[in-house]
Amino acid sequence: MIENLLQTIVGFVDTLFVSKLGLLEVTAVGVTNAILAVYLAVFLAMGVGTSSLIAKSVGAGNLEKAKAIARQSTLLSAILGILFGLVTFFFAKPLLQLMGAEPAVLASGIVYFRIVAVPSIFISLMTIFGSILRAAGDTKTPMKVGLWINLLHIGLDYILIFGSSDIPGMGVAGAAWATVMVRVIGSIALFAYIRKSKLSFSFKKGTGEYTLPLLQLSAPAAAERLIMRFGQVLYFGLIVRIGTEVYAAHTIAGNIEIFSYLPGYGLAVAATTLVGQYLGAGRREDAYRFGLFTTGIAVVFMSFVGILFFIFSPLAATWFTNEPPVIDMVTTALRIDAFAQPFLAIGLVLAGALQGAGDTKSPMYSTAIGMWLIRVVGVYVLCIYLKMGIAGVWLSIAFDLFIRAIFLFIRFNGKLAKPVSIREEGKS
């Protein structure tokens, strides 16, 4: 949770610094980050497959297998990072144009995109090294590394963007170089911690026997994230059709709502690790109980966040705008979202629990149904057909979260709430 909070704050500060350069630079960074979100989706998916397999191996006490999986996932992630770097080098301009970047934005966008994304290998390695440590039960090390590199990032950002007495300001290129530098440092630091851990591995020996299982688990997770990204593009396009003020209000509400995801994402990582390790140890009943217990904690946390949203949404909206109609719409959105927070908690954590159990397809199905059927159709019917405005948008989102929570709970129950076999009792 703390690591996610740090990343969110640094992203906010990064955007704040770039905004001082001008709207064109903000747009260039925003469009580039939309493409990088697709890259990151693939790297995170590889982390999901890695976490599931390593957690089960650690739970079963098979550290050699866990080390072999860590080695293989690192090699696969490095290859993916290099491939995405090459794509960026050769196709930076067409990709930005595909995202709708205007000619005035392209110059800054290409510079930022190439600096940040050609060395994508460091994005992929940081992601996978963090997943390896968390799967072994060490969530503190990625948090500590995240703390120091995020503080460093803010300092480098300021110096390289605006300059100092000895260093000339580099503008948007400075923001890009600051990001690359901290990713390199973060990758080295996390690998150094892995070398000191029980999962320390060598690249000198090993086979590719875990490549296929890693890809089989990671592919649905990658599909889930890509379905989410492309679905967001479609339903954002529908919201734009409703009106500029509605889209602005939706964006502001989304920026405030992002903080509610932090406990959910953190507890989802805990659920992935605990469920995977207990299943690896042959303790299915404990895996089931810990999955539900972690979900319950998330519901309590995020219900409290929902109460805060309901009470303080008018105040939070004034941080972003002074327009009364927009403030009213942001308030409406967040008060609807307040009632959806428990279902968001259930969906996030049970998706993590299922991934820890090796089921990466159920979260993919829930995202596909929720994003493409419920949200897109809901926004079209409630907003464009019934003219409900911002309320229609967030009612569609709330209904998606409600259906997704029910679906994932049924899948989790079906996966883990089964009679324990004699063989499994013997292992326990």
327-340 confidence digits (pLDDT tens): 898 899 999 999 99
Of 161, 178, 209, the domain-final residue:
209
For residues 116 and 5, state if they share a domain.
Answer: yes
End-to-end CA distance of the chain: give it in Å, rounded: 31
Measure the CA–CA gap between 214 and 135, rounded to whole angstroms: 14
Geometric angle at alpha carbon 70, from 68 and 72, rounded to 5°: 70
The predicted structure's pLDDT at residue 428: 39
For residues 205 and 239, state if they share a domain.
Answer: no
Of 183, 209, 235, the domain-final residue:
209
For residues 205 and 272, state if they share a domain.
Answer: no
What is the mean pLDDT for each group of 10 consecutive residues in the chain (428 residues)? Answer: 73 71 74 80 85 85 88 92 95 83 81 92 92 87 89 89 81 89 93 91 73 81 78 71 74 79 86 87 89 93 92 85 84 93 94 87 88 85 84 91 94 77 42
For residues 3 and 148, state if they share a domain.
Answer: yes
The answer as to whether 402 is a domain residue is yes
The predicted structure's pLDDT at residue 139: 83
For residues 183 and 263, state if they share a domain.
Answer: no
The answer as to whether 323 is a domain residue is yes
Determine if the pTM surpasses 0.85: no
Helix, strand, coil percentages in the chain from 3-state DSSP, rounded to 5: 85, 0, 15
The predicted structure's pLDDT at residue 189: 94
For residues 195 and 339, state if they share a domain.
Answer: no
2 is written with which tokens? 């703390």
The answer as to whether 405 is a domain residue is yes
Of 185, 209, 233, the domain-final residue:
209
For residues 163 and 298, state if they share a domain.
Answer: no
The predicted structure's pLDDT at residue 420: 45
The answer as to whether 306 is a domain residue is yes
For residues 118 and 24, state if they share a domain.
Answer: yes
Domain count, the chain: 2
For residues 258 and 374, state if they share a domain.
Answer: yes
The answer as to whether 26 is a domain residue is yes
For residues 297 and 408, state if they share a domain.
Answer: yes
Find tokens 């800054």 and name the residue. 108
Collect contacts of 268-271 with beta carbons under 8 A, ≥24 apart.
268/298, 268/348, 268/349, 268/351, 268/352, 268/353, 269/51, 269/134, 269/139, 269/352, 270/139, 270/294, 270/352, 271/295, 271/349, 271/350, 271/352, 271/353, 271/356
For residues 120 and 227, state if they share a domain.
Answer: no
20 is written with which tokens? 């001082």
Burial (Cβ within 10 Å: 0-12, 13-18, ≥19) of residue 62: middle
For residues 132 and 264, state if they share a domain.
Answer: no
The answer as to whether 214 is a domain residue is no
The predicted structure's pLDDT at residue 310: 93
Q: Amino acid identity, residue 319? A: W
Query: What is the domain extent for residue 67?
Result: 1-209
